[in-house]
Amino acid sequence: MWANSLLSLLPLAVFAFARDRDHKVKEQLVAPPRGWTLHGPAPLDHLVKLRIALPQSNFPALEDHLYQISDPSHERYGQHLSNEQIEELVAPCPESVDAVNEWLASHGIEGDDVGRSPAGDWLTIKIPVSLAEEMLDTKYHVWKHIGGEYLVRTTSYSLPKTVFDHVELIQPTTIFGTFRKLKSTIHSISKTPTEDTSQNAAPVASATGVTVDASCNSTITITCLKQLYNAVDFTPSADNTIAVTGYLEQFANRADLQTFFEDQVPAAAAVHSTYTLISVNGGTDPQNGSLAGVEANLDTQFAFGLTFPAASTFYSTAGSPPFIPDIGTPTDSNEPYTEWLDFVLSQKTPSVISTSYGDDEQTVPLNFAQRVCQGFAQLGAKGVSLTFSSGDGGVGDGDPDPATQECITNDGTNSTRFIPGFPASCPFVTAVGGTVFIPEIAVPFSGGGFSNYFSRPSYQDAAVEGFLKGLPKGTYAGLFNPNGRGIPDVATQSDFFKVFIEGEAFSVGGTSASSPTFAGFVALLNDARFKKGLPALGFLNPLLYSRAVGGFNDITVGNNPGCGTEGFNATKGWDAVTGLGTPNFAKLLDLVS
């Protein structure tokens, strides 16, 4: 009644009223994340590339399949799913597709205006801010970070009731984790000392009993890793695949790879072995020496050096530069994993893929992190092993200066809390932490701890509960989530890697070195399996924590400080610094092939 009478008097006001009632808030931040301040209104003609996630119809079924085919004691072990089987499980319901299509069409967006992922569970549209504001009943602003970056974002958005339940999330809206903040996990880099004083020292015994060159204590090479992890006698074959991902305009350099091979893998140098570039979203492969990225060179040199003559792939994923308010860049940036996932899920994929990038878990909205993590599960179901660096901040936020390490939550309460990293915190990837020296001890920067987003997967229950029981009572109460997914799963050496950049040798450190190293050994295990006609290892974790658990060198010395604490200790068995430990390749070989 009241609305009716109002309608006759104030049609315009009622229109607004009706629209507000039609839209329902989908997502809202209590406050802009720490460090961000309002800079001004967003230019209305600024283009945003919105990614719309439709609910996946049957992810729980996909997860069941994944755990069965990844459990070495299950009869379906190794029976990976085809792209078509996976797409069928995650495709959205027809009602969702229809409702969202209708909504988009009502705004003039249809046909080729809409990009669709292989399963149709992600839609992409590129529209001006003015239209996004109308469709999402919101207001975009330019936000400025203390670090100097700008982003076009909003703190809340709404959806009409007709599509509210047919859309899981739309980004970029509330995602403040910037593309630039998606850090490569390089901890340190310095020129290698010209004279290695330990060169002539007597070899030392490693945990596996294999002798290791004394120089390996201060300079890590391919030979060092093969000695240390007991793989000197293994001859890899060409019938194998491995890949590393590149983001942030990090380009791998082919000439540097050749120089590295000359130094450390002469057989690869002799045949000028190189990688295949796969461009994602327009990613490029410039070979201008000064554009060589430390991260990309480290990853390609070690992953491909360990596995030569395996077929090697470098994924170059493009990302838009950050928004510059005075110039107004044409597109905005998003977390790039979704771009990469859409692409690789539709392709024939290498069996092992290493990624040395990550961000603080709390900078990625929960529902977005969940969808990305579900994408990694889909890759696992295809039979791909995914390794990620665990992060370089110990239990902290990666701020190298302990004085300013704040470890403060973004949820509006400003609580102090350990800061786990994502994607390492996703239970469907293998998170790789770091060690240093011989005998190996945990490296202090090794990212570790417990997810605040993902609960502990059952494959970890026994290992993690054992660790938690060993913590002195009340340790770090409130600082971490004891029911969260424990990080990392495994570790490898992570410092003093001898990497070539623009023709010169550098010593590089970070869990950035650990992920491609572990990936390399996984690829070698696949190699042995392929020779026996067995399928690739695929999603590794259920295997690592069960049948393969005896194939690791347990690391029991060291800790990972952060947030003004000493962090966790490396202990007997799994720990939140080095996981299960470092690989003993010969033992793993016996266990998995």
Per-position x/- string for 421-450, each x denoting binding to ligand NAG as judged by CB under 6 A, each - no binding: ----------------xx------------
# binding residues, ligand NAG (CB under 6 A): 15
> Any contact of residue 368 with ligand NAG (CB under 6 A)?
no
Number of Cβ within a 10 Å radius of residue 543 = 24
How many CA atoms does the CB half-sphere of 509 hold within 13 Å? 21
Per-position x/- string for 217-246, each x denoting binding to ligand NAG as judged by CB under 6 A, each - no binding: x-----------------------------
Q: Which stretch binds ligand NAG (CB under 6 A): 74-82, 97-105, 139-147, 285-293?
A: 285-293
Q: Answer yes or no: are the C-beta atoms of 106 and 289 closer than 8 Å.
A: no
**Closest CB to ligand NAG among residues 212, 424:** 212
27-56: which residues touch ligand NAG (CB under 6 A)? 34
- Binding annotation: 554-555, 573, 575
Tokens of 510: 């970070």
Per-position x/- string for 532-571, each x denoting binding to ligand NAG as judged by CB under 6 A, each - no binding: ------------------------------------xx--
> Any contact of residue 8 with ligand NAG (CB under 6 A)?
no
> Any contact of residue 89 with ligand NAG (CB under 6 A)?
no
> Any contact of residue 410 with ligand NAG (CB under 6 A)?
no
Number of Cβ within a 10 Å radius of residue 250 = 24
Q: Answer yes or no: are the C-beta atoms of 487 and 576 closer than 8 Å.
A: yes
Nearest distance from residue 272's CB to ligand NAG, in Å?
A: 21
Per-position x/- string for 451-490, each x denoting binding to ligand NAG as judged by CB under 6 A, each - no binding: --------------------xx--x---------------
Q: Which residue among 204, 311, 549, 557 contacts ligand NAG (CB under 6 A)?
A: 204
Phi, psi of 260 (to 5 degrees): -60, -45
Q: Taking the CA atoms of 455, 461, 466 and 467 in sequence, report the sign of the dihedral they define.
A: negative
Q: Answer yes or no: are the C-beta atoms of 34 and 148 closer than 8 Å.
A: no
**Closest CB to ligand NAG among residues 219, 245:** 219
Q: Which of 425, 441, 309 is nearest to 363 (CA)?
A: 425
Q: Which residue among 237, 287, 414, 483 contacts ligand NAG (CB under 6 A)?
A: 414
Q: How far apart (Å, rounded) are the C-alpha atoms in residues 535 and 67?
A: 16
Q: Answer yes or no: are the C-beta atoms of 99 and 93 closer than 8 Å.
A: no
Number of Cβ within a 10 Å radius of residue 2 = 6
| Bridge partners, residue 124, by sequence | 51, 115
- Binding annotation for Ca(2+): 554-555, 573, 575
Identity (one letter) of the amino acid at 140? Y
> Any contact of residue 290 with ligand NAG (CB under 6 A)?
yes
112-141: which residues touch ligand NAG (CB under 6 A)? none
The residues carrying an active-site annotation are 295, 299, 512
Tell me which residue has tokens 């696992």.
380
Q: Which stretch binds ligand NAG (CB under 6 A): 164-172, 287-295, 446-454, 576-584?
A: 287-295
Tell me which residue has tokens 């399928």.
535
Where does 345-429 show beta strands of DSSP type E? 352-355, 357-360, 385-389, 421-422
Binding footprint of ligand NAG on the chain (CB under 6 A): 34, 204, 217, 288, 290-291, 413-414, 437-438, 471-472, 475, 568-569
